[in-house]
Amino acid sequence: MARPHQDDRSLDDTLINSMQPREDYYDQEAARSSPYGHILSVDEKRKLWIQNATVNMMFIGSWFFFAILLSMYNKWMFSDSHFNFPYPLFVTSLHMVVQFLLAGLVLNIWPHKFKPERYPTMEEYGKKAFPTGATTSLDIGFSNLSLKTVTLSFYTMVKSSSLIFVLLFAFLFHLERFSWRLVGVIMLICSGVLLMVATETHFVLGGFILVISASALGGLRWALTQTLFQSKKMGFSNPASTIFLLSPVMAVTLIILSFFVESWSSLFGSEFFSSGLTRTIQTILLLLAPGVLAFCMVLSEFYIIQRAGMVPMSIAGIAKEVATISISAWFFGDELTPLNITGVAITICGICLFTYHKYLKSIQSTVPLDGHGNPILSEEEAALHSGADFVELDETSRLASQSRDDLQIHQIDQSRSQMLFSAEDEEEEERERHPGLSQGFR
């Protein structure tokens, strides 16, 4: 009689468990450097880059949309010819409260997607969250205060230096690998921005100090934020939970700044709050409602930083300024000098060169890539550079697992065929040795 064979499921399990990847299929150096992925082929890298560039552009478009709406609101809210509410720090602090409430709502509605497994301890919160929230608030506060003493053109010219600070802190925090090509591209973009907004303007030392301080704090702020997203086991695993954890610090810091800089006695004694219940309720709603726009804008910002990093995020901000100036010139008839037009052209060229730099960095990489097409570090390197946890993979893991699955299926089919032919050969030999049993095999 023929011997019974194993069922297909146990056969597959046995083959998969005993199977080792072929040395000619996976790169051994990649396997040693990272347990999370393998060296992708050029086609896989190009596919991964295009997919992530498309998703990143969607988030950048979302950020543009909400940022423009919020800018229009701020212009209406603080303009002398419109609502004329002269307390920007107080308004921004209220927006932080709204962001905290909306982030908490998101965590409770979709806990499986956004709620972290655990929250940071008080010590971890003080070391990670507090510096990030405080620098963000000081950046916003100094920027708003400077606009009381300098013109918008002067502010934009000085604020363009934030790209230099962003790059500096990215190198210091090991969030970007040093590259002279990247330094050259950033300098080109900065020079384009200076020409783009160049006008004859009056220099104010106090305003300059405030703007340059805000630029430095902005670079530090984005570096700390990107580092937070690598601390997944501390609760900063996604933008919603990060906003929930950071907004209290930002709100308290801005409230303290507002209390000392903006006169609260005149604020609550003004016509906005002392002209009856109806006017007070109207003022409160007008102050709180744009917090929804701020929440959506910051959510988009954090997704861009989490997916692409702080330097692309900052350059996306420059692209927004270019789009705003170009649309204003076309739609509102704002005059641009030949020098301004040259600056716009140089800035656009710089942004295109940066995009090409990121593309080459992804395609030419000889180390395992993360889910967004960037080279990843080993756990030891990541701990040494940022003290953060290893970043999880998504698309790269999917591509790698697909390749492993295809390899396993191919090897299973080969093994099945070998076992089938082996069983047939054994039966043939058995029939030759025992001719009387041949009927049993039929």
What pLDDT, on the 0 to 100 scale, is given for residue 433? Answer: 58
Indicate if the pLDDT at residue 414 is higher than 90: no
CB 387 within 8 Å of CB 224: no
Q: Which residue has the higher pLDDT, 188 or 20?
A: 188
Indicate if the pLDDT at residue 409 is higher than 70: no
Indicate if the pLDDT at residue 211 is higher than 80: yes
What pLDDT, on the 0 to 100 scale, is given for residue 39? Answer: 62
Q: Which residue has the higher pLDDT, 69 or 366?
A: 69
What is the chain's mean pLDDT, rounded? 75
Distance CA(263)–CA(271), nearest Å, equals 14
Distance CA(440)–CA(430), nearest Å, equals 11
Name the percent of the chain lying above pLDDT 70: 70
* 369: three-class secondary structure by DSSP: strand
46-69 pLDDT per residue, tens: 888 888 888 989 999 998 899 878
Task: Give 284's pLDDT tier (boundaries 50, 70, 90).
Answer: very high
Of 65-69, 198-202, 255-259, 438-442, highest mean pLDDT: 255-259
CB 188 within 8 Å of CB 343: no
Indicate if the pLDDT at residue 292 is higher than 50: yes
What pLDDT, on the 0 to 100 scale, is given for residue 339? Answer: 83
Task: Give 195's pLDDT tier (boundaries 50, 70, 90).
Answer: confident
Q: Which residue has the higher pLDDT, 153 or 372?
A: 153
Indicate if the pLDDT at residue 306 is higher than 80: yes
What pLDDT, on the 0 to 100 scale, is given for residue 333? Answer: 66
Task: Give 406's pLDDT tier (boundaries 50, 70, 90).
Answer: very low
Task: Give 141's pLDDT tier (boundaries 50, 70, 90).
Answer: confident
Task: Give 385's pLDDT tier (boundaries 50, 70, 90).
Answer: very low
259-269 pLDDT per residue, tens: 988 888 888 88
Task: Give 310's pLDDT tier (boundaries 50, 70, 90).
Answer: confident
Indicate if the pLDDT at residue 77 is higher than 50: yes
Spell out the residues 6+ positions from residue 49 whose beta carbon is closer than 8 angstroms to its own.
359, 362, 363, 373
Q: Which residue has the higher pLDDT, 244 or 11?
A: 244
Indicate if the pLDDT at residue 331 is higher than 90: no
Q: Which residue has the higher pLDDT, 296 or 177?
A: 296
Distance CA(3)–CA(357), nearest Å, equals 63
What pLDDT, on the 0 to 100 scale, is given for residue 245? Answer: 94
- Name the least confident of 101-115, 395-409, 416-430: 395-409
**Backbone phi, then psi, for 143, in 5-degree steps?**
-65, -45
Instruction: Look at the alpha carbons of 89, 307, 103, 383 in this order and tell me if their dihedral is positive or negative.
Output: negative
Nearest in space to 89 (alpha carbons), one of 272, 284, 250: 250
- Name the least confident of 129-143, 175-189, 199-213, 403-417: 403-417
What pLDDT, on the 0 to 100 scale, is given for residue 392? Answer: 35
Indicate if the pLDDT at residue 421 is higher than 90: no
* 375: three-class secondary structure by DSSP: strand
What pLDDT, on the 0 to 100 scale, is given for residue 26? Answer: 36
What pLDDT, on the 0 to 100 scale, is given for residue 387? Answer: 41
Average pLDDT over residues 287-298: 93
Task: Give 131's pLDDT tier (boundaries 50, 70, 90).
Answer: very high
Q: At what angle do helices 152-159 and 205-229 cross, to 10 degrees?
A: 50
- Name the least confident of 175-189, 209-223, 265-279, 414-428: 414-428
Indicate if the pLDDT at residue 247 is higher than 90: yes
156-190 b/e with 16+ CB inside 10 Å = b?
bbbbbbbbbbbbebbbebbbbeeeeebeebbebbb
- Name the least confident of 8-22, 368-382, 426-440: 8-22
CB 261 within 8 Å of CB 87: no
